C-alpha cells in the first residue's frame, strides 16, 4: 500500500504540486487496485481524481467510509453501478478485517 505523504516522510509541502501529481499518477498506474479512504466535508479532490483515474483504467476500487457519511452522488453512482467494493465501518477497528476480507475475495 502506498501513501504519497507517508512516502515523503509526511512532508507533502516539500514536493511541488507537479511532483505530487506525477508521483500520484505513477503509483496509481503501477498499482493493481485502489483503496480509497473517503473523508468527507468536503470530499478530497485528490481522492476524487484517483477514483476517476482508477475507474478509467479499469482498476478494482475498494471504497472505505464511515457509516454516518453522506456520500456525494458520484461516489453513490460508483457503488450502485458495482464499480467499487464498498466497506462501511462504524469503529476504526472494523476496517482492517473488512479490508482483508475484501482483498481475499478478489483472489
- pLDDT tens-digit series, residues 46-89: 888 899 999 999 999 999 999 988 888 888 899 999 999 999 99
pLDDT band for position 4 (50/70/90)? low
Q: Indicate whether 6 pLDDT > 70.
A: no
State how far Cα 6 lies from the chain centre: 15
Which residues pair with residue 65 across a beta bridge? 88
User: What is the pTM (predicted TM-score) of this model?
Assistant: 0.83
DSSP notation for 28-50: HHH-S-EEEE--TTTTPHHHHHH
Buried b (16+ CB within 10 A) or exposed e, 78-102: bbeeeebbbbebeeeeeeeebbeeb
What pLDDT, on a 0 to 100 scale, did the predictor assign at position 73? 87
Q: What is the DSSP letter of 77?
A: H
pLDDT band for position 42 (50/70/90)? confident
What pLDDT, on a 0 to 100 scale, did the predictor assign at position 19? 84
Amino acid at each position: 500500500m502506498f501513501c504519497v505523504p507517508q512516502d515523503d516522510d509526511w512532508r507533502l509541502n516539500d514536493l511541488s504540486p507537479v511532483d505530487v501529481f506525477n508521483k500520484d499518477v505513477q503509483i496509481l498506474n503501477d498499482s493493481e487496485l485502489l483503496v480509497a479512504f473517503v473523508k468527507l466535508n468536503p470530499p478530497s479532490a485528490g481522492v476524487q481524481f484517483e477514483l476517476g483515474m482508477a475507474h478509467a483504467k479499469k482498476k478494482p476500487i475498494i471504497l472505505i467510509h464511515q457509516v454516518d457519511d453522506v456520500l456525494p452522488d458520484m461516489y453513490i453512482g460508483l457503488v450502485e453501478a458495482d464499480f467499487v467494493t464498498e466497506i462501511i465501518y462504524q469503529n476504526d477497528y472494523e476496517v482492517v478485517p473488512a479490508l482483508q476480507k475484501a482483498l481475499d475475495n478478489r483472489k
